[in-house]
Amino acid sequence: MPSTTAITVQQLSRLIGLPGAPVIVDVRIDEDYDADPRLLPASHRRNFKTVSAWANDLAGSQVAVVCQKGQKLSQGVAAWLRHEGIAAESLGGGFEAWRDAGGPLVRADKIPSRDEKGRTVWVTRARPKVDRIACPWLIRRFIDPDAVFLFVEPAEVPAVADRFQAVPFDIDNVFWSHRGERCTFDTMIEEFGLQSQALDRLATIVRAADTARLDLVPQAAGFLAASLGLSRMFRDDLEQLEAGTMLYDAFFRWCRDATDETHNWPGGAKPS
């Protein structure tokens, strides 16, 4: 009989990258983590020994707890969280089951250092169109759900990065930027080690729209039109980011689940 306090690899994989994904807490011991220093997407590490101290940080959240094999550590932490009134499940089979099933993993060494509140901080040019919406979407869905994004005048990006310990992206002469014909979104997928057919499909659409190569995929022109339309609907870049996030959520779901689906009038008849 399936456990009522565990989530399976298959169930969790269907939630990864979506706005309703649970908060993923990695409680592997250092020895296991050091042997494979990768993380499930958007997860963060916590010390299982101090769960009573940090449990309240997760109040109101749906939580999935991951240890090496899905045994005592994750089950114990999940049980403690449930004691605190938090909806928590352990991942069946743990990190090993996720890895062996080919689930996407993030290279932890590529994640920037965090601020005093545990957030990564990024800075880029104001008035985003495609890549500067795509990258924040990727970061919040797969790397750091609490990431902070600063949009400033192009000439001020390096200085703001220095003064506010922020990571610059999508500008010239920085690590997180275009490389050849590939855009910053491609760079992030590659550097974080994210292996996902859906993300690769989305990356082609983003690249085509961002680099004006609309012949690469048929979805590119419509994607660019929607992106440019959003850029004209909002003066505030953060409001635009929030609105654009839904666009990327929708395209990610299409890339993952709906590429074979067509939509026709019932019976093939034309409406009168």
Q: What is the average per-residue pLDDT within 224-236?
A: 97
Q: Identify the pLDDT of residue 36.
A: 98
Q: Identify the pLDDT of residue 82.
A: 98
Q: Identify the pLDDT of residue 2.
A: 55
Q: Model-level pTM?
A: 0.94
Has residue 263 got a pLDDT over 90?
Answer: no
Backbone Cα Rg of the chain:
20
Confidence of residue 269 (pLDDT cuts 50, 70, 90): low
Q: Identify the pLDDT of residue 270.
A: 58
Beta carbons within 8 Å of 36's beta carbon, 6+ residues apart? 95, 99
Question: Rounded distance, CA 128 to CA 183, Å?
Answer: 14
pLDDT digits (tens, 9 = 90+) for 123-162: 999 999 999 999 999 999 999 999 999 999 999 999 999 9
Q: In Å, what is the CA distance from 38 to each residue of 71, 99, 157, 193, 229?
A: 19, 10, 30, 9, 37
Beta carbons within 8 Å of 48's beta carbon, 6+ residues apart? 27, 29, 67, 73, 76, 77
pLDDT digits (tens, 9 = 90+) for 5-64: 999 999 999 999 999 999 999 999 999 999 999 999 999 999 999 999 999 999 999 999
Q: Identify the pLDDT of residue 157.
A: 98
pLDDT digits (tens, 9 = 90+) for 162-210: 999 999 999 999 999 999 999 999 999 999 999 999 999 999 999 999 9
Sheet containing strand 167-168, edge to edge, reads: 148-152, 121-125, 167-168
Has residue 256 got a pLDDT over 60?
Answer: yes
Residue 40, amino acid: L
Q: Identify the pLDDT of residue 271.
A: 52
Q: Identify the pLDDT of residue 1.
A: 47
Q: Identify the pLDDT of residue 3.
A: 75
